[in-house]
């Protein structure tokens, strides 16, 4: 018997091992796939690759639903092969982004906590094949996921068929780290019993109806590492402003030095800001996030974070070698959950998270654009930022005040796309400073944002816009016909700086 078959502990499933090409051949034009994978972690790899190979000689398209973004170039290769019709709820690949912005791929940009509800209720296309990366199949018929959970459990429960990719290169010590909980149908559910970050409320694996397991494929390809950039002077300055804000909250008595469970979005800026806590006075912190990046493990190593819950672990190459190579050390401090639990509005509010996410741009009233360059071209998607921002104790957005050496101001009169409204944004931070918008009327927000967050090269221009808007009056003064003039000037003249 092949040695790796011990990963399939249900004996009757052992003869369902097939090649990736054979499994991929079952997937037909027009079908809908539910792929494991969340922020480059734990993605199904072999079947998507086999589909891309098949596309060399055959025309077909499938809908691709996932947890969040995929790694291992899966989105890139599928996009380039032209086999994706609809994609949801999040992606972060440049090649796929181009196809989306050309209108070749229909991208449904969805709150990460909500896709599970759509699948459970039968709102979107039913899943023909769930393709799930796993460490093993247990004796009692549970799929043990790898480095992410994402939407895998809801895909498995509702798919007509399941294909399992057992990845031999993933760290076996992840067994026991997962906590799989299924809320049940809306209207028939009990309260989700989680009241603390480290509460275990579910099972260590995903229960699967064995009848539905159509095939099992063995793979050994590691997750692709994250590509986050190291801190730079500006991200460190932003981290400093954020620490100042948190210290003010402690001084006011609203927080203690243990803070509150932290959520930090994907990306370099959020990672750098979180890293800024390593040398701070804050201690015994908890992380309740959707993804754990390098900084969380630095905080654990520094003895600052005692427990971290998320839906995936996404690390740089060096950090991955260190953390996965010595995982026994981290094992009892980590929980991986379905994304509808990590991002659940009720739990975010119950725990009272401090939520830190990245903005593409924000405006003088505190509306945030997280997704669309100049209001039209998709970057990655809203991801979980809406789940967190709406319900967090503190909803914080960070961005550098300018981009591309100043031709773009990240603070604008009117954001060109709204992902987070004025009602959902508490604090905005740039390298210039932070603006605390809580309890401020729109007219009170403007001067704080201009003086604390706008880059000096754009301040005068912003004051002029607002002065003109004030002549028009209103709760939220605007000069509508000039609201997007900065974006229009960027398109026409290559800069948001208006000439006199």
Residue 157 touching its own copies (CB under 8 A): no
Among 67, 366, 386, 433, binds its own copies (CB under 8 A): 386
DSSP per-residue string spanning 440-466: --HHHHHHHHHHHHS-HHHHHHHHHHH
Residues 69-108 that bind its own copies (CB under 8 A): 86, 88, 100-103, 106-108
As a whole number of angstroms, the distance between CA 67 and CA 61 comes to 20
HSE of 313 in the Cβ direction (CA atoms, 13 Å)? Answer: 27
Residue 377 touching its own copies (CB under 8 A): yes
Q: Which stretch binds its own copies (CB under 8 A): 74-82, 134-142, 254-262, 300-308?
A: 254-262
Residue 391 touching its own copies (CB under 8 A): yes
Q: Which is nearer to its own copies, 5 or 403 (CB)?
A: 403
Residues 313-342 that bind its own copies (CB under 8 A): none
SS3 329: helix
Q: How far is the CB of 445 from its own copies (least distance, A)?
A: 10
Residue 474 touching its own copies (CB under 8 A): yes
Give the pairing of strands 408-409 and 402-403.
Answer: antiparallel
Q: Which is nearer to its own copies, 110 or 337 (CB)?
A: 110
Site string for its own copies, 173-192 (x = CB under 8 A): ------------xxx-xxxx
Other CB atoms within a 10 A radius of the CB of residue 427 amount to 23
Residue 491 touching its own copies (CB under 8 A): yes
Selected catalytic residue, list 290, 340, 361, 431: 290
Measured between alpha carbons, how far apart are the two ends of the chain, in Å? 79
Residue 250 touching its own copies (CB under 8 A): no
Q: Which is nearer to its own copies, 103 or 456 (CB)?
A: 103
Q: Which is nearer to its own copies, 239 or 412 (CB)?
A: 412
Among positive and negative, which fits the CA dihedral 20, 25, 27, 29? positive
265 is in an annotated binding site: yes
As a whole number of angstroms, the distance between CA 224 and CA 148 comes to 13
Residue 477 touching its own copies (CB under 8 A): yes
Q: Which is nearer to its own copies, 130 or 415 (CB)?
A: 415
Residue 23 touching its own copies (CB under 8 A): no
Q: How far is the CB of 484 from its own copies (least distance, A)?
A: 4
Q: How many residues bind its own copies (CB under 8 A)?
A: 84
Q: How far is the CB of 120 from its own copies (least distance, A)?
A: 10
Scan for tokens 């800001």, then name that residue: 273
Among 10, 55, 173, 488, binds its own copies (CB under 8 A): 488
Residues 436-455 that bind its own copies (CB under 8 A): 438-441, 443-444
266 is in an annotated binding site: yes
Site string for its own copies, 195-234 (x = CB under 8 A): x---------------------------------------
Scan for tokens 């967050």, then name that residue: 453
Residue 126 touching its own copies (CB under 8 A): no
Q: Are 268 and 289 in contact (CB under 8 A)?
A: no
Q: Which is nearer to its own copies, 11 or 492 (CB)?
A: 492
Among candidate residues 434, 440, 212, 223, the one with its CA nearest the CA of residue 314: 223
Residue 57 touching its own copies (CB under 8 A): no
Q: How far is the CB of 469 from its own copies (least distance, A)?
A: 8
The pairs formed by 13-19 with CB atoms below 8 angstroms and a separation of 24 or more are 13/137, 13/210, 13/213, 13/216, 16/213, 16/214, 16/215, 16/216, 17/215, 17/216, 17/217, 17/218, 18/215, 18/216, 18/217, 19/217
Residue 493 touching its own copies (CB under 8 A): no
Residue 352 touching its own copies (CB under 8 A): yes
What order do you get walking across the sheet with 411-412 strand by strand?
368-369, 361-363, 411-412
The b/e string for 110-128 (b: 16+ C-beta within 10 A; e otherwise) is: bbbbbbbebbbeeebbebb
Q: Which stretch binds its own copies (CB under 8 A): 23-31, 70-78, 130-138, 344-352?
A: 344-352
Q: Which stretch binds its own copies (CB under 8 A): 42-50, 54-62, 382-390, 398-406?
A: 382-390
Q: Which residues pair with 436 in a beta bridge?
A: 427
Q: How far is the CB of 352 from its own copies (least distance, A)?
A: 3
Q: Are 373 and 379 in contact (CB under 8 A)?
A: yes
Among positive and negative, which fits the CA dihedral 427, 194, 178, 380? negative
Among 96, 378, 449, 496, binds its own copies (CB under 8 A): 378
As a whole number of angstroms, the distance between CA 5 and CA 163 comes to 16
| Catalytic (active site) residue 290 | yes
Q: Is it true that the peptide bond before 251 is cis, omega within 30 degrees of 0?
A: no
Q: How far is the CB of 119 from its own copies (least distance, A)?
A: 11
Q: Where are the alpha helices (DSSP H) in 83-184?
A: 94-101, 115-121, 152-158
268 is in an annotated binding site: yes
Among 40, 241, 337, 390, binds its own copies (CB under 8 A): 390
Q: Which residues are annotated as a binding site for CoA?
A: 265-269, 380, 384, 404
Binding residues: 265-269, 380, 384, 404
Please give the positions annotated as active site.
290
């Amino acid at each position: 018997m092949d040695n790796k078959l011990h990963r399939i502990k249900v004996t009757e499933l052992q003869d369902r091992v097939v090649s990736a090409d054979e499994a991929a051949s079952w997937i037909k034009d027009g079908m809908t796939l539910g792929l494991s994978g969340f922020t480059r972690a734990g993605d199904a790899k072999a079947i998507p690759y086999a589909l891309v190979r098949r596309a060399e000689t055959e025309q077909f398209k499938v809908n691709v639903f996932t947890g969040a973004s995929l790694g291992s170039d899966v989105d890139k290769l599928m996009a380039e092969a032209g086999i994706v019709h609809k994609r949801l709820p999040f992606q972060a690949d440049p090649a796929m982004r181009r196809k989306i912005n050309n209108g070749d791929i229909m991208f449904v940009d969805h709150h990460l906590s909500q896709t599970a509800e759509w699948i459970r209720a039968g709102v979107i296309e039913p899943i023909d094949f769930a393709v799930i990366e796993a460490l093993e199949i247990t004796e009692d018929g549970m799929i043990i996921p790898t480095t992410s959970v994402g939407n895998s459990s809801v895909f498995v429960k509702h798919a007509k068929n399941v294909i399992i990719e057992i990845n031999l290169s993933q760290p076996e010590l992840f067994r026991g780290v997962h906590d799989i909980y299924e809320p049940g149908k809306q209207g028939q559910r009990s309260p989700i019993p989680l009241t603390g970050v480290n509460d275990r409320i579910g099972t260590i694996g995903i229960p699967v109806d064995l009848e539905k397991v159509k095939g099992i494929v063995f793979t050994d390809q590691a997750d692709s590492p994250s590509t986050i950039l190291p801190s730079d002077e500006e991200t460190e300055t932003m981290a400093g402003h954020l620490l100042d804000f948190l210290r003010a909250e402690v001084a006011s008595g609203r927080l203690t030095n243990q803070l509150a469970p932290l959520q930090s979005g994907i990306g370099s800026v959020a990672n750098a800001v979180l890293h800024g806590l390593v040398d701070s006075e804050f201690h015994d912190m908890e992380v309740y996030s959707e993804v754990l990046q390098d900084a969380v493990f630095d905080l654990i190593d520094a003895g600052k974070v005692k427990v971290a819950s998320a839906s995936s672990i996404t690390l740089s190459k060096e950090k991955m070698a260190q953390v996965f190579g010595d995982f026994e050390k981290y094992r009892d401090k980590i929980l991986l959950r379905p994304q509808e639990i990590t991002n659940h509005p009720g739990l975010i509010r119950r725990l009272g998270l401090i939520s830190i996410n990245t903005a593409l741009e924000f405006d003088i009233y505190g509306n945030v654009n997280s997704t669309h360059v100049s209001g039209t071209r998709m970057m990655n998607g809203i991801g979980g930022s809406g789940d967190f921002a709406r319900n967090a104790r503190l909803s914080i957005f960070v961005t550098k005040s300018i981009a591309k050496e100043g031709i773009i101001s990240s603070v604008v009169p009117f954001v060109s796309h709204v992902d987070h409204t004025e009602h959902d944004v508490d604090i905005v931070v740039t390298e210039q400073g932070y603006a605390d918008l809580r309890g401020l009327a729109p007219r009170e927000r403007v001067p704080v944002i201009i003086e604390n967050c706008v880059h000096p090269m754009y301040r005068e221009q912003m004051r002029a816009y607002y002065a003109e808007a004030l002549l028009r009056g209103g709760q939220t003064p605007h000069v509508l016909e000039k609201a997007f003039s900065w974006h229009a000037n960027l398109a026409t003249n290559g800069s948001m700086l208006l000439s006199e």
